[in-house]
Chain A
């Protein structure tokens, strides 16, 4: 658990302007290449579908990192928000309107309101208490699906969600879905990276590093945690809403503790607090899960083993490991150039 408590951000200050470095160029190339993926996968619709799921997982991982990486609060029940978003969007699309410009904002508002109310209690807790309470909350949301089975479809899940529209246009083509999801991911990631550099982002990290001291210099620790909790829930709900409208159905599995565990794995494997790491972790995990589970039923054992290895040997996650190797290689190449 120590990996989750670490405060590993080298804080140089707000908006430090950095020159364009090779890593930025590589990042830009990867983002640009991602936008062209539908062309490369034109003849492989299954892979494009999988890529869409990977993007949803990436948004979900980012949403959890907004909470864990910024404030150090560990959630065992993040799938609760994902499922809540999924069901809210699904019900809105089925019974009200399939227009995404209405459905998705409504989903976010519902998640924000519920997160604000529950967060007013949960965000006052720390450590294990917070983690256990998030698990309990997600199980309550899970059970509500069965209580309201006349609306939600109970164990069968919510089916028959109509094809959604965006500004009146039907969204059917997988390519269109891909670009929509990809745009949401990139915008969310850029906003998260921007937030990290704002006074709010610095104050979050201060709370994560030393919440007692933060309180004694006048930082409203509870309020900052609550803001992170609500933002995190809202983004997870958006991911759930996008997935449900893309998939045309949502099942109670989306809310399960197993799903919560997977989201946690995305973040820890990618690198807690790195924002980019969990995004890559979520996407890579989705592809790996698909391929490895087709080879062996024991795929979870391999993932569990990898999880243990990362926590022990690369507590900053794979992103920090790669960053360190990159920095080392860059340092060595500078030495050679001299």
Chain B
């Protein structure tokens, strides 16, 4: 298991946003977390990526207890995320967005000098990562001027620059056109198949989740109510009642 949580819990006042969640992600798979709004999916992501500390429970990444570590330390270890709202450096060019993340991975973000050779090498790596996500030709475009789908792809590219082992993607298809959805879907599959990454996905587009996922975990009121393959989840009566009613009408 590349990622495991054991009894993970987090309260906000009287609300149990995440309640005793035990979750496991196998290497080189796409695992999705689904559930109605307010089920605790994003809070779960925030806990796993160190954005907020848990009240109880443990988080294991590659067998190592990483509970309480901050996002910067986790990124160094290979655990990165993308955000529900595209989170990029909007005033930087696409190339600089990715170069920044590469320099961060190499711990050169406090450097006062970079040789030409290093600049060139980082720039070339950034170009190749942009190519992986389909952004060839947009290297010099200021991120804010990219189309929505390309901004989302750039968000993923920034994550890839950290050379992650695990990438958590929070609603990567939100607000996208059909064409962009299909493009990002292909990108997610490529992350697993071509780059050997593990992807943990939170997504509301059930059709896409069923198509992309190797395994699905269903949350409701902060608790896991089901876990299994897409076929198992599709047939699960509790899940159908709680969440999927009508989703498979077709």
Contacts and interface: CB of A to CB of B under 8 A. Distances in A.
Interface of A: 7-15, 195, 198-200, 202-203, 205-206, 209-210, 212-221, 223-224, 227
Nearest to A221: B72
Contact of B114 (A199, A209, A216): A199
B112 A198 contact: yes
Contacts of A202: 96, 100, 103, 109
B113 interface: yes
A43 to B, nearest CB: 44
Interface string B85-117: 001111111011001110111001111111000
A7 to B, nearest CB: 5
Interface in B44-87: 49, 51, 70-73, 75-76, 80-81, 83, 87
Given A218-B72, A218-B76, A13 B99 contact: yes
A199 B72 CA distance: 17
Contacts of A198: 111-114
The 4 residue pairs across chains A and B that have the minimum distance between CB atoms: A218-B75, A11-B92, A203-B109, A199-B111
B93 A12 contact: yes
B212 interface: no
A203 B140 contact: no
Given A12-B96, A203-B103, A213 B110 contact: no
B91 A8 contact: yes
A209 B97 CA distance: 11
A200 B129 CA distance: 22
Contacts of A14: 99, 114, 119
B123 A203 contact: no
A219 B91 contact: no
A218 B112 contact: no
Contacts of B108: 199
Interface string B122-153: 01000000000000000010100000000000
Contacts of A224: 109-110
B161 interface: yes
Contacts of B162: 217-218
- Which residue, of A199, A203, A219, A224, has the highest number of chain B Cβ atoms within 10 A? A199
Nearest to B92: A11
B17 interface: no
Interface of B: 49, 51, 70-73, 75-76, 80-81, 83, 87-93, 95-96, 99-101, 103-105, 108-114, 119, 123, 140, 142, 158-159, 161-162
- Which residue, of B71, B93, B109, has the highest number of chain A Cβ atoms within 10 A? B109
A213 B140 CA distance: 20
Nearest to A227: B110
7 contacts: A8-B91, A14-B99, A199-B103, A199-B110, A215-B71, A216-B72, A217-B161
A210 B89 contact: yes
A7 B96 CA distance: 15
Given A13-B96, A14-B114, A223-B110, A203 B104 contact: yes
B140 to A, nearest CB: 7
A13 B123 contact: yes
A15 B75 contact: no
Contacts of A7: 89-91
Contacts of B113: 198
Contacts of A199: 103, 108-112, 114
A206 B114 contact: no
Nearest to B140: A12
A216 B75 contact: yes
A216 B123 CA distance: 21
Contacts of B83: 212-213
A214 B72 CA distance: 8
A228 B115 CA distance: 23
Contacts of A11: 89, 91-93, 96
A121 to B, nearest CB: 18
A219 B89 contact: no
A11 B144 CA distance: 12
Nearest to A11: B92
Nearest to B87: A213
A256 B134 CA distance: 55
Contacts of B70: 215
Nearest to A194: B112
Given A11-B91, A12-B93, A217 B158 contact: yes
B80 A217 contact: yes
Given A15-B119, A199-B109, A9 B91 contact: yes
A145 B162 CA distance: 50
Given A13-B123, A217-B104, A209 B91 contact: yes
Nearest to B104: A218
A90 B110 CA distance: 34
- Which residue, of A11, A203, A224, has the highest number of chain B Cβ atoms within 10 A? A11
Contacts of B99: 13-14
Given A7-B90, A218-B105, A206 B100 contact: yes
A210 B71 contact: no
A118 to B, nearest CB: 21
Given A203-B103, A218-B105, 13 more contacts: A7-B91, A8-B91, A11-B96, A13-B95, A198-B111, A199-B112, A202-B96, A209-B90, A213-B88, A213-B89, A217-B100, A218-B101, A220-B110
